Amino acid sequence: MKEKNIKIIKPWNGDFMYKEDGYEKDNALFIPVTVQAPSGSELFLNGRPMKAENGVYEGEAVLTGYESKIVLTDKDNRVLDEIRLYWAKNTDMKYRFSLDDNIWWLRDLAKNASVYKSLFDNPFLAFFKKLHDAFGTKVHFNIYYQDEADFNLSMMPEKYKGEFIANSDWIALTFHALANDPDKPYENTTYEKIYTHCQMVTDEIKRFAGEEVLSDYTTIHWGAVNREGCKALKDFGFKGLVGYFEMVDGKPLVSYYFDEYYTKHINQRDIYRDTEFGLTFIKNDMVVNTFKREDIIPSLEKTLSNPHTSRFIELMIHEQYYHPHYIQYQPDYEQKIWDAVKLVAERGYKPAFLKEIL
């Protein structure tokens, strides 16, 4: 039985750890651990005695694999607290590029099926092919089922399926939402609603693009999903979700079901796992369309200078800003993406899908 006044306070249960959080030696990662306990306590961390300094107990956890259980006991070997930590060495110096709100390029492919000979006759996809050819970038598209007019994924022809599969080493497609409107569609969702919408999108992806392009990680529209909705996504097969994990106007933004306390913590990490719920959460480092082009490099430089947010880089943009008919069209859309990807590539980051490294 856990003692309320004795607990591990740092790191947090579910944290992903890098060598910057401690040090590597003999194919293991050594992480300092801080415990809150009354003075005079005799404590052991995974069987090793802890030392008290200035009223705080310090110890060291040794991580030898992807997941490690850290157990705090007393002299009678009673468990007082325990956490799970993750050695994130497979994500170290990797990056991923993703896009939210995708539907218009799919509509264009369907509309021009009798004209286009290739996926990459679509100008939007042609740009990302160019990006991939230059930097090896892997691009993950989170897509809607339908647009604001009269197009939905059931209207996508299977003409491009072979080409989707042939490029599935760098193109991924997953569920984002039923449609762009309303905002925050799953903030108070039922299990059945989000599961049904996810099934609708995924079934169509399999039909017109092949199961090969699917992933077990995604970003949900607005990143506001209650625990019931996240349970549906987990049961559907998703292992993790990407979000901003920011506080805006005193409220968590794109932070799924997390409150302010957890949102602020995840914001200072690359990756965090809710060990009780069984989902992994990845923090987005930059939403490219929210920055002026001249601010992209300085902002990324700041992220890259922080040892706790720089080991895995997650870049994202929304589709609609590419299109001239959109009210908030950004004519330098492609240049912004190119600048961001070029910087991380030049710094030695390698492209990867989350399903490959988590």
Q: 350: which strand partners?
A: 94
Q: Which residue has the higher pLDDT, 308 or 334?
A: 334
Q: Tell me yes or no: is domain 94-357 CATH 3.20.110.20.
A: yes
Query: What end-to-end distance do the CA atoms of the chain give, in Å?
Result: 32
Structural contact between residues 265 and 272, judged by C-beta atoms closer than 8 angstroms: yes
Q: What is the rounded average pLDDT of the residues 150-173?
A: 98
In this predicted structure, what is the pLDDT of residue 4? 64
Mean of all residue pLDDT scores within the chain: 96
In this predicted structure, what is the pLDDT of residue 128? 98
Distance from chain centroid for Cα 228 = 19
Q: How far apart are CA 340 and CA 337, in angstroms?
A: 5
Domain locations along the chain: 7-87, 94-357
Amino acid at position 293, single letter: R
Mind listing the pLDDT tens digit for each residue in 212-221? 999 999 999 9
pLDDT at residue 2 greater than cutoff 60: no
- For residue 277, the 8-state DSSP code is T
Mind listing the pLDDT tens digit for each residue in 54-108? 778 999 999 999 999 999 999 999 999 999 999 999 999 999 999 999 999 999 9
Instruction: Give every CB contact of residue 335 below 8 A, 6+ residues apart in sequence.
Output: 293
Q: Which two tokens stand for residue 30?
A: 């050594």
Among 284, 285, 241, 245, residue whose Cα is nearest residue 263: 245
* Fold (CATH) for 7-87: Immunoglobulin-like (2.60.40)
Among 204, 129, 115, residue whose Cα is nearest residue 163: 129
Q: What is the rounded average pLDDT of the residues 256-267?
A: 97
In this predicted structure, what is the pLDDT of residue 1? 46
pLDDT at residue 37 greater than cutoff 50: yes
What kind and span of H or E run contains 242?
Answer: strand 240-243
pLDDT at residue 211 greater than cutoff 50: yes
Amino acid at position 186, single letter: Y
Q: How far apart are CA 60 and CA 32, in angstroms?
A: 5
**CB neighbours of residue 312 within 10 Å:** 26
Structural contact between residues 14 and 280, judged by C-beta atoms closer than 8 angstroms: no
Q: What is the rounded average pLDDT of the residues 300-309?
A: 93
Instruction: Give every CB contact of residue 75 below 8 A, 6+ residues apart in sequence.
Output: 42, 44
Mind listing the pLDDT tens digit for each residue in 316-358? 999 999 999 999 999 999 999 999 999 999 999 999 999 999 9
Instruction: Give every CB contact of residue 160 below 8 A, 6+ residues apart in sequence.
Output: 109, 118, 119, 208, 209
